[in-house]
Amino acid sequence: MEKTELQVTWRGWLSLFVFIFLFSGLIPTLSKYPGLEWLAALDFSSMIGKFGTELVGGGKAEGARRGFMEAFVLFPTIMLALGFIEIFEYYGALGAAQKIFQPLFRPLMGIPGVAGLAFVASLNSSDVGSVMTRQLREEGELTEKERTVFVPYQYAGSATITNTLGAGSALIPISLLAPGVIIGIQILAKIIGANVVRLILNLAEKKQKAQEQGGSQ
């Protein structure tokens, strides 16, 4: 049976571009330049607001209460992310992501290109990346093995751009490397970690197949 080529319309490419712009974590950096301050309103972190952060960060909740509030403040993030996902999927961003990322992700981590949106989102927010990965798994776009390989990539140095340029901003002026190089090294280390998990899974599969063949003889 001949495999049909995936067709992506201009709406798909445009929605993918908008998604990358909103979730890549570049907006806070761009909004610091004169005349571009208005871009801060489009940043995902600005959109979700500061709901509950004063209770969590202000020391007003401790122990189990603090744990509950930490989980509770994720609601705006998750709900907004799910809404965005539905919109971008409707306009074909997943298909565009598959076209772009498939040649990269298959050899690098053994995962399909449709994970590209979750890949981009995880650069800015680990919460959004995890929500998208879960949805891809539930829709059958990712196998259990592919998800298992992809998850370690996301959570090792999660929200790479946001944390490097935000939490690590005090160290950037005295760093010997440019911020782009630092982020690149982190992403490379994350890919290596994902491939370590991939190797372990492949070895486990081979061992299981060998045991099954030995048992059937």
73 occurs within a structural domain: yes
The 10s digit of each residue's pLDDT in 54-90 is 555 555 556 677 667 766 777 777 777 778 878 888 8
pTM over 0.75: no
Predicted confidence (pLDDT) per residue in 93-120, tens digit: 888 888 889 899 999 999 999 898 888 8
Flag whether 216 is in a domain: no
- Counted domains in the chain: 1
Domain membership flag for residue 147 = yes
Instruction: Give the least confident one: 90-94, 123-127, 185-189.
Output: 123-127
In this prediction, residue 203 has a pLDDT band, given cuts at 50, 70 and 90, of very high
Measure Cα distances from 6 to 57, 93, 98, 113 in Å: 47, 12, 9, 12
Residue 217 within any structural domain of the chain: no
- Report pLDDT digits (tens) over 139-187: 899 999 999 999 989 888 787 877 777 766 667 777 788 877 888 899 9
Within-domain flag for 3 = no
| 195, part of any domain | yes
What domain range includes position 98? 10-211
Answer yes or no: is 4 within a domain. no
For residue 126, name the pLDDT band (cuts at 50, 70, 90): confident
- What's the rounded mean pLDDT across residues 27-48? 78
Asked whether residue 74 is assigned to any structural domain, the reply reads yes
Mind giving me the DSSP string for the chain?
A: -PPPPPP--HHHHHHHHHHHHHHSS-HHHHTTSTT-GGGGGGSHHHHHTTTTHHHHHTTS--HHHHHHHHHHTHHHHHHHHHHHHHHHHHTTHHHHHHHHHHHHHHHHHS--GGGHHHHHHHHH-HHHHHHHHHHHHHTTSS-HHHHHHHHHHHHTT-SHHHHHHTTTTTTGGG-SS-HHHHHHHHHHHHHHHHHHHHHHHHHHHHHHHHHHHHHH-
